[in-house]
Structure 1
Amino acid sequence: MNHRQLEIFHAVMISGSASRAAELLQVTQPAVSRAIADLEGAIGFSLFDRVRGRLVPTPEGQLLFSDVRSSFIGLDRLRASAARIRDFGSGTLRVASLAAYGNTVLPRAIRLFRDRHPEIAITFQIALSAQVRELVVNGGFSIGLAADEVDLSGVDHRVFSTGRACCVMPPGHPLAAKPVIRPADLDGVAFIALSAEDRARARLNAVLDAAGARPNVVVETPFAATVCALALEGIGVGLSQAVAAEGFVERGLVLRPFEPEVYFKTFLLFRPDTQKSRLVKDFIAALLAARDRGAPKAALSRRPRH
């Protein structure tokens, strides 16, 4: 068994046929068939059943492919890393964030950071909080911003912000006339809910249940910014933190405080097996500055004490 045979096997599996695999690898179809036969001989079992001229993966072939695919994902990461080193040298930084901050605080932080380090290339990815954690732990990302429902085991972490939840709604909504929104106000109201695993939603549900209030959930989404976009379109009322509403207020979105107070909590995540480099420390400083710079506009949020 050699790498070329595995490469051809991988190409057949992802393309679905020997002919398309041959096109992908720029070899002849007989060369693909020969490599598959040689691989089967080397490992001692069949990878494909030959059905009417088609290659249909066997159960054993599917099992082997799961491991081969993982290996090729690792190779793809190595190729991407090599490309970054080739294009940018060693001065790179990889950052991942949940969407609420990825569309607001992170762009400001990147600008502040690049004002000091214009030579540093940044890889920036927006993802769900659980995916942010995986990118930090397994994907080589130096910094992550994730909501508090994320599994914090196996990562270094610190509180980045604690933002008070507010109700968001379209202009002209009946609740917009109220200075403060309370649980009873949401009873029976069309409501845009965050995903069930979101801790802020769980905290809100506890408050609503205690008051006997039952909003009419019409849409569920994992992103606070999407809650704001849907509310602005008149889909319903939602719960968000003020930072996620940036850009929507200017377009008419109405924010009202919610009482009793419910909070969103966000964590900074770091890989536990590496010391923080000077670049990472500088980017954290830029993040904190960007967070604080947005604070006057986000009057419903508070920052943690250190």
Structure 2
Amino acid sequence: MEFRQLEVFRAVMDCGSASAAAKLLGLSQPAVSRQISQMERELGLELFVRGAGKLKPTADAAALYDEATYAFAGLERVLNVARRMRGRDSGVLRMAAPFSFGEALLPRVVSMLAQEHPRLRYELELAGYDAITAMVAERRVDVAVLKQPLTNPAVAALPLVECGTVCVLPPSHPLARKASVTIDALSREPLVLLGRETTWRSDLHAQLRKAPRAAQVRIETHSATSACSFVAQGLGVSVLPALLAAQFIHRGVRLRPLQVPISHRFVVACATSLSQSPMVEHFARAARSVAHELLAEVAAP
């Protein structure tokens, strides 16, 4: 099977017809049909059911398409590396980050990078920490934002920022007039909490157990976005890493430092083989600058 056949096959799957694939590839429709027929003969598989001038993919075609997509992604990574080695910066930078960082951090980082590398294109995957770690290790993305600790030996970490923990409050809440919030004051409020299985959440509960009264958790969520939305509706107060909470200042919530030493270390992650890549360094430098800007906004009165 030749690479051209695989390219034609993917185009037919993506476009849904031989005629549309022909237009995409700049070929005639008969040429596309010949490539598909030859590919089927060489593989000994029926990839499409033909009828009424249409090509309906078989189960074998669907399975082959998944592998073809993965193969083309690998080829694109190779081409990206070659472009960067030539200094063209005209490839695609594949990024991944937790969902919340799509609010402010990543848009600002890309805006900064776009000024320095105007020909570079960007793809962003938003997911949970475990899924992102797997993407980085498997080279499905070039660079990502993660939190320490990282235990996968295939993933390298460049420092991003270390931050404390803040309370997220409705704007009219009495605690919003305070310079900071004590554990005792926090324990008296209905709580909207994030990340039940995380180490820092365990540290928070350890601190809350020291308060005179038992804390009431009103809402559990796995999304910082929803936690801040619940707070904005007056349903309680939340506790988040300062860098995460900084994404949501524009949503009308107030952030105040929590008076306990719960810190968070965010990193820029990449595959170990890319740890010396200039583009990873550029991304990390831009991300550090933006992260410190956001934390300065949190600290502003």
TM more than 0.5: yes
For residues 250-300 of structure 1, give each alpha carbon's deviation from its aligned partner in whole angstroms, at most 9, with x where no partner exists. Answer: 885322344655433323434323563678668767766776677666559
Of the structure 1 ranges 147-156 and 280-289, higher mean CA displacement relative to structure 2 is found in 280-289
Question: Contact 1:144/1:270 (CA < 8 Å) preserved in 2?
Answer: yes
- Please name the residue that 1:17 is paired with: 17
Q: Which runs of 5+ in 2 are unaligned?
A: none
One-letter amino acid of the structure 2 residue matched with residue 266 of structure 1: F
- Please name the residue that 1:215 is paired with: 217
In the alignment, the residues of structure 2 paired with residue 249 and residue 19 of structure 1 have an alpha-carbon distance, to the nearest angstrom, of 50
Cα deviation, residue 6, structure 1: 1.7
Question: Contact 2:144/2:268 (CA < 8 Å) preserved in 1?
Answer: yes
User: What SS class does the counterpart of residue 267 from structure 1 fall into?
Assistant: strand
In the alignment, the residues of structure 2 paired with residue 250 and residue 59 of structure 1 have an alpha-carbon distance, to the nearest angstrom, of 47
- Please name the residue that 2:60 is paired with: 60
- Please name the residue that 1:3 is paired with: 3
In the alignment, the residues of structure 2 paired with residue 230 and residue 84 of structure 1 have an alpha-carbon distance, to the nearest angstrom, of 44
1:41 and 2:44 aligned? no
Mark the CA change 1:210 to 1:123 in structure 2 (over 3 Å): closer, same or farther. farther
- Please name the residue that 1:254 is paired with: 254
- Please name the residue that 1:146 is paired with: 146
Question: Contact 1:11/1:21 (CA < 8 Å) preserved in 2?
Answer: yes
Question: Contact 1:242/1:299 (CA < 8 Å) preserved in 2?
Answer: no
Cα deviation, residue 61, structure 1: 2.4
Cα deviation, residue 197, structure 1: 5.8
Question: Contact 1:136/1:144 (CA < 8 Å) preserved in 2?
Answer: no
Pick aligned residue for 1:184 from 184, 187, 208: 187
TM-score normalised by the chain length of structure 2 = 0.68
Kindly, what percent of the aligned residue pairs are identical?
27
Alignment of structure 1 residues 27-106 onto 2, 5 Å: 27-50=27-50, 54-78=54-78, 89=88, 96=95, 98=98, 99-100=100-101, 103-104=104-105
- Report how many residues are paired: 290
One-letter amino acid of the structure 1 residue matched with residue 104 of structure 2: N
In the alignment, the residues of structure 2 paired with residue 56 and residue 175 of structure 1 have an alpha-carbon distance, to the nearest angstrom, of 62
One-letter amino acid of the structure 1 residue matched with residue 135 of structure 2: E
Of the structure 1 ranges 282-291 and 71-80, higher mean CA displacement relative to structure 2 is found in 282-291
Mark the CA change 1:275 to 1:194 in structure 2 (over 3 Å): closer, same or farther. closer
User: What SS class does the counterpart of residue 138 from structure 1 fall into?
Assistant: coil
For residues 226-264 of structure 1, give each alpha carbon's deviation from its aligned partner in whole angstroms, at most 9, with x where no partner exists. Answer: 644663464642222333444755885322344655433
Alignment of structure 1 residues 103-122 onto 2, 5 Å: 103-104=104-105, 107=108
- Please name the residue that 1:134 is paired with: 135
Cα RMSD, aligned residues only? 4.7
